[in-house]
Amino acid sequence: MKNINIGLVGFGTIGAGVAKVLLENHEVINARLGVELKLKKIADLDITTDRGVTIPDGILTTDIDQVIGNPGIDIVIELIGGYEPARTFVERALQNRQSVVTANKALLAKHGNELFTTARENGVDFYYEASVGGGIPIIKTMREALAGNNITSVCGILNGTCNYILTKMGDEGADFAAVLKNAQELGYAEADPTFDVEGIDTAHKLAILTSLAFSCPIDFEKIHVEGISDIKPVDFEFAREFGYKIKLLAIAKNEAGCIETRVHPTMIPKEHMLAKIDDVFNAVFVNADALGPSLYYGQGAGMMATASAVVGDLIDIARNLSNSNMRRIPDLGFQDNRITPGNYRPMSEISSQYYLRFSAHDKTSVLSRIAGILGGHEISIASVIQQGGGQGDATAVPIVMQTHIARERNLRAALSEIDQLDIIAAPTAVIRMESDL
């Protein structure tokens, strides 16, 4: 049987993991696939740093052309990350009729649609299982296993750094900065953590899941994104009192053809499966009309878990190549002529329950004034926790409310009034509460 020849671009941590799996698990891959997956070339500018894996002679190269456009390479793995030169390399590989596997969510979120077009025009596969949820096979599940379903929503914990920080803040009562520092020391957070903690990485992944769920082109710009850096330890205490946990959730819903896509800290009931996902782990929760709810859990990052997803893609494409059955699965799981622009609900029009933490000067009139303004904006209060009290004017105390379901636009209008009151000492903290995921 014919070998399938693999070229890898980008020999960092994940690249080393992929090389390790291809070399060390050669036997089991062969036993499953029945065809030899041969790692022929690894291209990187730096081929001298020890990556903890022994690469046979003649494979490492600094010459990108030994991979991209080399007719001896059937499948190119792109693990450079970021937009350029990743985009150019992937584009060139596809144009040279090489199939491509990537783990690059930023690339897909920004250039996915055009790259899918190039792949289609050249009759090759462009797979990306590792781009969402690391080793969790959520792309395959949505594209193939759930293909008989209309997917109604997909929600996920898609960033291990954030989930680690939120888990520790909740367990230990520590504040954000302290836990972030700890996460950086453990290697769970980058030196510049902005991309992770501000929700951008999660939003890149959600852009992909939204298209897989609702057959629309990838549209990162439509996602409302908030990060976790403003959450205070006290919010975890109140969440606990309400029976909720705080998670950074990626949420995509389709209600009667209207799509919501948003990334923000979210309180979810502690019994919900997503509330039970702790530490650096990721999980994706899917609601589908036939299957009902299902959840997929695992390591969302890391050398070997991500490599598992990349190699799974390689094996799939190798089967397609061996059977002359390229493009067996359309890029987004829907026939290309069925991908139609999504009808997105603006953030101001979404409905949610809200957790509101007011910093108020301790006056007897506070609660009635706040409630009055909320009521004037059609926001009704489900419960109130008012702590401290009695010390008079000087001290700002937290007043915490859980609202019934309200319109985001109304909430923002109410808060802009409330936050200007002389009895309010600081901007009101808002966390959306989702009881119905």
Q: Name the site residues for a second copy (rule: CB under 8 A).
A: 17, 21-22, 25, 28-29, 31-34, 129, 135-137, 140-141, 144-150, 215, 273, 276, 288-299, 302, 304-305, 307-309, 311-312, 314-316, 319, 323, 325, 328-330, 333-335, 338
Q: What is the largest CA-CA distance in the chain?
A: 84
- Measured CA to CA, the distance from residue 437 to residue 208 in angstroms comes to 19
CB-nearer residue toward a second copy: 165 or 286: 286
Point out the residues that are catalytic: 205
CB-nearer residue toward a second copy: 259 or 399: 259
> 109 φ, ψ to 5°?
-65, -35
CB-nearer residue toward a second copy: 261 or 299: 299
| Nearest distance, CB of residue 49 and a second copy, angstroms | 22
- Cβ atoms of residues 92 and 126 within 8 Å: no
Closest CA to 332 of 140, 88, 145: 140
| Nearest distance, CB of residue 310 and a second copy, angstroms | 8
| Nearest distance, CB of residue 230 and a second copy, angstroms | 29
- How many other β-carbons are positioned within 10 Å of the β-carbon of residue 147? 11
Q: What is the DSSP string of 225-274?
A: E--STT--HHHHHHHHHHTEEEEEEEEEEEETTEEEEEEEEEEEETTSGG
Amino acid at 245: K
- How many other β-carbons are positioned within 10 Å of the β-carbon of residue 144? 13
Contacts of 335 by beta carbon, 8 Å cutoff, 6+ apart: none
| Nearest distance, CB of residue 308 and a second copy, angstroms | 4
| Nearest distance, CB of residue 366 and a second copy, angstroms | 40
| Nearest distance, CB of residue 363 and a second copy, angstroms | 44
CB-nearer residue toward a second copy: 217 or 298: 298
Phi-psi region of 246 (alpha: psi -120 to 50; beta: other; left: phi over 0): beta
Task: Please compute, for residue 212, the number of CA atoms within 13 A of its CA located in the half-sphere on the CB side.
Answer: 29
- How many other β-carbons are positioned within 10 Å of the β-carbon of residue 304? 16
- Cβ atoms of residues 425 and 361 within 8 Å: yes
CB-nearer residue toward a second copy: 174 or 304: 304
Residue carrying structure tokens 């081929």: 47
Token pair of 407, please?
């319109």
Strand residues in 119-167 grouped as ranges (E): 126-127, 151-157
Token pair of 236, please?
């975890």
**With 0-12 CB in 10 A as exposed, 13-18 as middle and 19+ as buried, what is 81?**
middle
